[in-house]
Amino acid sequence: MRKLKNTELNRKSIDEFKKSKKTSAIVILDNIRSLHNVGSIFRTSDSFLIEKIIISGYTATPENSRMEKTALGSSDSVDWEYSDDIIETIKKLQKKDIKIISIEQADESLKIEKFIPVKGTKYAFIFGNEVDGISDDIINVSDEVVEIPQVGTKHSLNVSVAAGIVLWDFFYKTEL
């Protein structure tokens, strides 16, 4: 066994990425503090051909050059937009039959292994602040809350790690 060389990875160019059929998912980032977490989520979104990222609150946008340290160019491939009013944006997505899924620990959350996405349905996954999580206002307009089970002492995954788990799980369940 040997590690593959970069030339053997069949990487898409940015133009090929833009023209590719996307995974039926949108990522919403609300009040993410760390530029590194935002950049990492852009890279993960690129990896799974996510349609776009919606940024809200004080989450850094790709216009901040310090985000590039972890984004490594993925902010050029993954489409993104900024929302001044995330609740209104969520309601507009719902009118387009996009299912809104908050990733949070909540009293009526669905464990991720029991989340069965419907093929052909588009989903938007919301990830919130590293300390405070997703606001109750957002949870209350979400169609579902999905939780990643945790059994250690912290019960708190880094938001970019949580995004990686959720996006891989969704990709696995809908695209493979």
Question: What amino acid is encoded at 16 in this protein?
Answer: E
| Location of structure tokens 């491939």 | 77
What pTM does this model have?
0.96
The mean pLDDT of 119-137, rounded to a whole number, is 96
Confidence of residue 149 (pLDDT cuts 50, 70, 90): very high
Query: Which residues is 50 bridged to in the sheet?
Result: 23
In CATH, the architecture of 21-175 is 3-Layer(aba) Sandwich (3.40)
DSSP designation for 174: H
Residue 68 has pLDDT above 90, yes or no: no
pLDDT value of position 69: 84
String of DSSP letters for 50-95: EEEEEEETTPPPTTSGGGHHHHTTHHHHSEEEEES-HHHHHHHHHH
